[in-house]
A and B are shown apart, each in its own frame.
Chain A
Amino acid sequence: MTSDSKVLDLRKEVDDFIAAGSANLAALRLAELWRKESGTGTAAFVVSRYEKLRDKLPWLRYRLAILRSFTVEPAIPLLRAAAFTNGIDLTVQLGDFNAYAQAIFDKDSSLYRFTPDGVILAVRTSDLAPDLWQEYADLDPDAVREAVQRVSNSFHQWMRAFRERCEAALIVHNLEQPARPSSGVLDAQLVTSQSAAIRQINQEIHRIVSEHRGVHLLDYDGLVARQGRLRWRDERKWLTARMPIAADQLIQLSREWLRFLVPLTGKIAKALVVDLDNTLWGGVIGEDGMQGIKLSAEYPGAAYQTLQRVMLDLARRGILLAVCSKNNLEDAVEALESHPGMLLRSKNFAAMRINWNDKAQNLREIAAELNIGIDSLAFMDDNPVEREQVRAALPEVTVIDMPDDPVDYATALRECPAFERLTLSAEDQQRTSFYVAERERSQAEQNFQTKEDFYRYLEQEAEIVPVLPATLARISQLTQKTNQFNLTTRRYSEPQIAEMAARPEWQVLSIRVRDRFGDHGLVGVAITRDKAEACEIDSFLLSCRVIGRTVEMALLSYLAQSAAARGRQRLLGWFLPTQKNAPAKEFYSQHGFHLHTQNGEGSLWELDLKQHPIAWPEWIKLNQTNGGHN
């Protein structure tokens, strides 16, 4: 087996790079090793080596507690190894067996003392409802109803108690169905069947989860079904080690967990950049021509249509699509615009680089054009050399490993955790159209003599309102995702936002912007806190797509006016520099603030509200609705 000696070489290379102090190269090789061989032994190696690199690379630390009713220990190294390769340094606390209820109810439990960022509640049907699982045949319909009620109530109480005590994200497993119901084939025909009872509990869990902020449902039953109930289970290890899951399935559980951790930590891809030849279609357009490329409803062209359908799904989830291809522009555009087999068209792509330049350079340009960080890009290319070059030049890009057979391309894309989202806002679903409108806008901008003429032409309208239940998710999402125009880069979960909004001295405001080209949706957040005679800006951030057209000035003016209306004398605000928020650096000084304090973390700016009112930009119309300022 040559693959064996290859992975042995990789281990040696990793250790050599670590010894030489080359952290980035060691991390690249570790990721490669993990892609080639994701298993229990490798996980132990990979985790131990990543731990040595811990302080040298910019990983995001995340504290995860797992409450469980069964042995999950062997899945933890698998999860940590996968998390490291996604840029997340996980600290995991495992609860004692079946101690999850006490841990949730006891305010002083080790769970809460651990101060987790996220918590997984993994309870199996057989542990929580042994009556429904193995004594089902003995239950009369009333007893079944009672059991369903009892289990649903438990979930209800756990989630309520957890939310009262902790702001961490909570991921709740639902309950799995038995592989073979106790009544055999008859079960499917019974009114009070075993599977119907478990389904009912799962519907209740679904309902309860939707009633709580920051609680997410993991469809454990769906995961087990996808892998196959009979393959999932290992009866021998269940009986000897309380380990119910087969060795080769543990990796699937850890991957499912990662699908939640990636969006929870913000390690997501906002745009997918794709190659064209042999990726979106089979063959080379420049050589095979419109007739020759494989792209149709029939095999082999159908494989590429399936991939394009997955990309359309991603676009509906708010992920931008872009093209990066070494091609003659005319050939590629002709195929994009008029090939009858194409499901994607130019209008589906927010940016395109079709040229013979280096792909890493093209990716940098695409990120700049879309106003997102390079670490927000995912890259899909059938050519392994291009993939390796991008990995080496831009390690922060998510590079999707493509299988050899095009039939498997769609699955590879669907499995990439960087595209997972835990909430979906109206803005997400129309994102591509925002960018297409933006292209028109920037073309319009070039036709004006003065900036003010352009601002007037835009016919901007702003709506500034306090946080509402309907906007909580989007506001939290903006604090999590906005990196560039963000004065303090404080990340807040939905429960944290809700808690601040409930306090009288805090104001949580959002701004929505429309202009002649369309609705931008909710694009900015400001959070302030009154302290004695001053009002301090805790957070101030705007999505990049509205920067540079005085929306930031409008929001600041609004804050100043409403603080003055509440009797405050001064407006204070920190600028906390990060690697990415340089665009916000001069914001306070440009609007008349004076430097108050400077320390190692940043600078505090101050404005006297009586002497320096901030003018509202007259070309923006303010629409006031429900409970705006006076």
Chain B
Amino acid sequence: MTSTTFEQVRGIASDLFAIPPDRITAESSAETIESWDSIQHLNFALALEEKFGFQLSPEEMEQMRTIGEIVKLVESKLQVTPN
């Protein structure tokens, strides 16, 4: 892997929220990103599922509060679901 999980998650966020990757940090959240609304939240979850090939539960979708938390979530899911 040439790019880290953080870079991949940040790439998705950059596409979805239409902001350059370098302006997205681990602390970025729906509070700091204006276009992060409920539909975009759903899109974010769908994009993660497509990219990493897992499914997110409703509880996990609620945990997706900051980019950093999303990276942790993805990493934990990738460990238990080898792919």
Binding site for B on A (CB under 8 A): 1-2, 4-5, 8, 39-42, 44-45, 48, 71, 73-74, 77, 234, 236-237, 239-241, 243, 246-248, 250
List, in ascending order, chain A residues with CB within 8 A of B49's CB.
246-248
Q: A8 near B11 (CB under 8 angstroms)?
A: yes
Known: A40-B46, A73-B39. A2 touches B51 (CB 8 A): no
- Kindly state whether residue B29 has any CB partner on chain A within 8 Å: no
B3 close to A236 (CB less than 8 A):
no
Q: Does B42 contact A (CB under 8 A)?
A: yes
B36 to chain A, nearest CB (A): 12
B residues 1-44 with Cβ under 8 Å of A? 1-3, 8, 11-12, 14-16, 18, 39, 42-43
Question: Is B43 in contact with A243, judged by CB distance below 8 angstroms?
Answer: no
Which residues of B sit under 8 angstroms from A73, Cβ to Cβ?
Answer: 39, 42-43
Q: What is the total of A-B residue contacts with beta carbons within 8 Å?
A: 68
Asked if B58 is an interface residue, CB under 8 A from chain A, the answer is: yes
Q: Which residues of B contact A236 (CB under 8 A)?
A: 55-58
Closest 7 CB pairs of A and B: A40-B47, A247-B49, A41-B15, A247-B46, A45-B15, A41-B12, A41-B47
Instruction: Please give the residue numbers on chain B whose beta carbons come within 8 Å of chain A beta carbons, in ascending order.
Output: 1-3, 8, 11-12, 14-16, 18, 39, 42-43, 45-47, 49-51, 55-58, 61
Residue among B3, B50, B58 making CB contact with A40, cutoff 8 Å: B50
With A and B bound together, what is the CA distance between A288 and B12 in angstroms? 48
A-chain residues with CB within 8 Å of residue B51 when the two chains form the complex? 39, 41
Contacts of A237 in B (CB 8 A): 42, 45
Residue of B nearest to A5 (CB): B2
State the CA gap A234–B56 with chains docked (Å): 10
Determine the main DSSP class of A at the interface with B.
helix
CB distance from B28 to the nearest CB of A (A): 15
Q: How far is the CA of A71 from the CA of B46 in the complex (A)?
A: 13
- Chain B nearest Cβ from A445, distance in angstroms: 57
Assess the B50–A240 pair: CB atoms within 8 A: no
In the complex, chain B residues whose CB is within 8 Å of the CB of A4: 2-3, 8
Q: How far is the CA of A250 from the CA of B8 in the complex (A)?
A: 21
By the criterion CB–CB under 8 Å, are A74 and B2 in contact? no
Please give me the residue from chain B that is nearest to A241 by CB atom.
B42
Interface centre among B12, B15, B56 (most CB of A within 10 A): B15
Query: Which residue of A has the minimal Cβ distance to B49?
Result: A247
Q: Quick check: B55 and A234 within 8 Å, CB to CB?
A: yes
7 pairs across A/B with beta carbons < 8 Å?
Answer: A4-B2, A4-B8, A40-B16, A74-B43, A246-B55, A247-B50, A248-B50
A84 to B4, CA, bound (A): 31
List chain A residues, Cβ under 8 A from B57.
236
Report the bound CA distance from A247 to B44 in whole Å: 10
Q: How far is the CA of A48 from the CA of B14 in the complex (A)?
A: 12
Chain A nearest Cβ from B44, distance in angstroms:
8
Partner of A41 from B3, B11, B42, B56 at Cβ < 8 Å: B11
Whether A44 pairs with B18 at a CB distance below 8 angstroms is: yes
CB distance from A149 to the nearest CB of B (A): 37
**Pairwise interchain contact B2-A1, C-beta atoms closer than 8 A:** yes
Taking a contact as CB atoms under 8 Å apart, the answer to whether B16 and A41 are in contact is yes
Q: Smallest CB–CB gap between A116 and chain B, Å?
A: 22
A1: chain B residues within 8 A (beta carbon): 1-3
Q: How far is the CA of A241 from the CA of B49 in the complex (A)?
A: 15
Q: For the complex formed, measure the closest distance between the CB of A267 and the CB atoms of chain B, giving whole angstroms.
A: 26
Residues of B within 8 A of A243 (CB): 42
- Chain A residues closer than 8 Å to B58, beta-carbon distance: 236, 239-240
B53 → A minimal CB distance (Å): 8
Task: Check A44–B43 contact: CB distance below 8 A.
Answer: yes
Residues of A within 8 A of B55 (CB): 234, 236, 246-247
**Residues in chain A near residue B50, CB distance under 8 A:** 39-41, 247-248
16 further interface pairs, Cβ-Cβ under 8 Å (given A4-B2, A40-B46): A4-B3, A5-B2, A41-B11, A41-B51, A44-B15, A48-B18, A71-B42, A73-B39, A74-B42, A74-B46, A237-B45, A247-B46, A247-B47, A248-B49, A248-B50, A250-B46
